[in-house]
Amino acid sequence: MNQYQLRVYYEDTDAQGVVYYANYLKFFERARTEFLRHAGYQQMQLMKEGIIFVVRGLELTLHKPARLDDQLLINTELDKLGKVSFNFIQKAYLEDELISEAHVRCGSLDPVTFKPASLPEYLHTGMKKLL
């Protein structure tokens, strides 16, 4: 599991000072990127190798709102790892309280054909260690 901390800024909120729901997707994206970086993922390197990652689907549940200036902790856990696809469970906490969670299904594609492409072996091995 990987943890990512962030503070809620004015730009993340709506007129009531509450995090706009779509911004949780941005928070979770940042946390997944840091998780993958920890596993050896370097986006520019993968692009040179002809691999891109995409989100194939997700389920987002909001339990309680976060507000302006809140400090959030995002936990990211690799839930499933295949040769082409990988899934995450992500949870956002305010202090010790779960406020949002997402189940995210990702895949790797060839950037020209947009057809499934296998993860490079070094990255698959790095991710497998984080299961």
The single residue listed with the structure tokens 């891109």 is 52
Of the listed 14, 69, 79, 110, which one is catalytic? 14
Q: Which domain covers residue 114, as residue numbers?
A: 2-128
**What average pLDDT score do residues 107-120 get?**
91
Amino acid at 28: F
Task: Give per-residue pLDDT as tens, 24-61.
Answer: 999 999 999 899 888 877 778 877 888 889 999 999 99
Task: Give per-residue pLDDT as tens, 79-93.
Answer: 999 999 999 999 999
What pLDDT score does 39 carry?
80
Q: Detail the DSSP E strand segments found in the chain.
A: 2-7, 52-62, 71-81, 85-94, 97-109
CA atoms lying within 13 Å on the CB side of residue 95: 4
* Residue 14: active-site member: yes
CATH of the domain at 82: 3.10.129.10
Count structural domains, the chain. 1
